[in-house]
Structure 1
Amino acid sequence: MPPTDPLALIRRSIGLCQMMRNWPAPVLDTLAAAARLGRYARHEQILAEDPLRREVLVVASGGVAVDSVDASGARFLLSIHGPGEITALMRLLEDVGFVYDFHAREPTVLVHIPADALLGALDAHPPLWRDVCVLMLSRAHEQIVMRQQGTLGALDCQLANAVVQLARVHGRIAQGSATLHVRVSQSDLAAMLSVSRQTVNKELRRLEQRGLLHAEYGRLEILDLPGLEWLAQGRP
């Protein structure tokens, strides 16, 4: 069972974080001592009391959506992060305006690490910067692929690519099943692709007819990941 003591939970969570799991124990202990724990209800905005607060976020449980809403009320979903992932790394930068918000996708527990504490640890141990750079390069590549698909790809290819990216990061093998399951709503997919939910629903039904996936409420069952990858590359 996960520890109930806040400090123990913080230490365990950052120790399991994909970016930091191989970092020296003394570094993780230092970060844990500087961090705080936050608990959020479904759809609750994170850092609502101080949107400019310079903290990075490690997901202990639940999930976080990085999104924004324009003046017309249209929502754009940049990314989704689940347990073991870290987000808000851009907040390591100083004097930068932040244009995205963070919302809990479900009941969520987060570890908030002050940016200055993380920067201090990285500067004291320069080789650890490599892990930050590799993660950010990987995410930049994903965004380039998504942008390219959004500009050049047909909608079915865009949707397939979005599902593939989510499956690679968030896909889980359900108990008693050999298929990948991804917890994502049609509204989230619509916000990622800047289309209506009705349009996403129509395209998902087409992918179902091709035997690539099965759409359920708030979840996708991936039946043919290679087939989705093939379609995501723009191949019929």
Structure 2
Amino acid sequence: MRSPHQFNIHHEIEQHSIFRLFPPRAREALIAAAFIKHYRRGQKVMDANEDPPHLIIVLTGIIFVELAYPDGRKLTSPTWDQHGDMLALIQIFTGTPIPWDFVARTQTSLILIPKQVILNILAKLPQLMAPFMNVLCERLHGMAVQNSHALIQRPRERLIHLLLNLAERYGSITAEGTLIDLRISQDEMSFMLSLSRQSINKELKGLSEQGLIQHAYGTITILQIEALKTLVQKIPYPLMQQSGLGKSTPLLQAAGIEIPVLPQAFNP
């Protein structure tokens, strides 16, 4: 993984799956207005009820959404965003505040592009809305697929799918297995999976007794990831594919937008 200080705004925007579709002068305007900001673990990226002033592009790090209740409960979930993915996209276009906090769960680096710069470009070139709408449609479809599978999955299957996706997205290989070091509590997992904390505790204990995982102090190590995969039919989280416009779609075709081929040397 590259160091946060090795990222270059010009390169990131020129090669971004959406912004590379913009004409050169529009990309130059984005590059001139954009800046990189670094966040420490636990630092807020954006406050709930804030009207986001910037479109956010993830460079490195892991971001969670947090929703605080008056009784003191705090519900959290990962955004599943990776390098190149965008945050607060809906709020940028609707002018509505975000309903939760965005919080850096690890050291995080982001590109911030002033909202008004984006909106000014789209006002002059409305056909460029199509790639953004394409991404939003993919996210909506992904959430629908996720929810439909959750309706028919048993608690253990839901938990295993979550662990496998966390491992694929955020895991690191150690001598013991695949470490998920996100400090995720059982309360947080119960919120992510719409299960009771008691169910989460029961299933984690069962997987531990089978020698498949090890969990302590908010970290989980998958000891036998291939064995864990055999217990369920793998269903990836489709909403992970948030910034990829690798192929044309009817929406992009209707807007007359072609997907350019990146140089073979480009490695996102």
TM-score, length of structure 2 as denominator length? 0.65
Show the counterpart of 2:244: none
Show the counterpart of 1:162: 162
CA-atom RMSD in angstroms: 3.8
Q: Compute the displacement of 1:205 (Å).
A: 4.2
Going from structure 1 to structure 2, the CA distance change for 1:184 and 1:133 (only over 3 Å counts) comes to farther
Q: Distance in 2 between matches of 1:94 and 1:28?
A: 23
Cα displacement string for residues 170-207 of structure 1 (whole angstroms, at most 9, x for unaligned residues): 25674899x87655443243442245666435423434
Q: Distance in 1 between matches of 2:157 and 2:48?
A: 39
Going from structure 1 to structure 2, the CA distance change for 1:186 and 1:63 (only over 3 Å counts) comes to closer
Cα displacement string for residues 14-34 of structure 1 (whole angstroms, at most 9, x for unaligned residues): 4455x4364357343321222
Q: Does 1:227 align with 2:230?
A: yes
State the SS of the aligned residue for 1:82: coil
Q: Distance in 2 between matches of 1:15 and 1:167?
A: 30
Going from structure 1 to structure 2, the CA distance change for 1:125 and 1:204 (only over 3 Å counts) comes to farther
Q: Distance in 2 between matches of 1:78 and 1:2?
A: 25
Q: Compute the displacement of 1:92 (Å).
A: 1.6
Show the counterpart of 1:55: 54
Structure 2 residue runs without a partner (length 5+) = 237-268
- More divergent stretch after superposition (143-152 vs 98-107): 143-152
Q: Compute the displacement of 1:140 (Å).
A: 1.6
Q: Distance in 2 between matches of 1:126 and 1:146?
A: 31
Show the counterpart of 1:84: 84
Letter in 2 for 1:137: C
Show the counterpart of 1:218: 219
Q: Distance in 2 between matches of 1:175 and 1:161?
A: 21
Q: Compute the displacement of 1:150 (Å).
A: 4.5
- Counterpart contact for 1:39–1:110, Cα < 8 Å: yes
- Counterpart contact for 1:76–1:191, Cα < 8 Å: yes
Letter in 2 for 1:230: Q
Larger Rg: 2
TM-score, length of structure 1 as denominator length? 0.72
Cα displacement string for residues 9-66 of structure 1 (whole angstroms, at most 9, x for unaligned residues): 333444455x436435734332122223322221111134982233221112222112
State the SS of the aligned residue for 2:99: coil
Aligned residues: 228
Going from structure 1 to structure 2, the CA distance change for 1:122 and 1:213 (only over 3 Å counts) comes to farther
Show the counterpart of 1:64: 63
Show the counterpart of 1:130: 130
- Larger relative contact order (Cα-Cα within 8 Å, sequence gap ≥ 6): 2
State the SS of the aligned residue for 2:21: coil
Q: Compute the displacement of 1:146 (Å).
A: 3.4
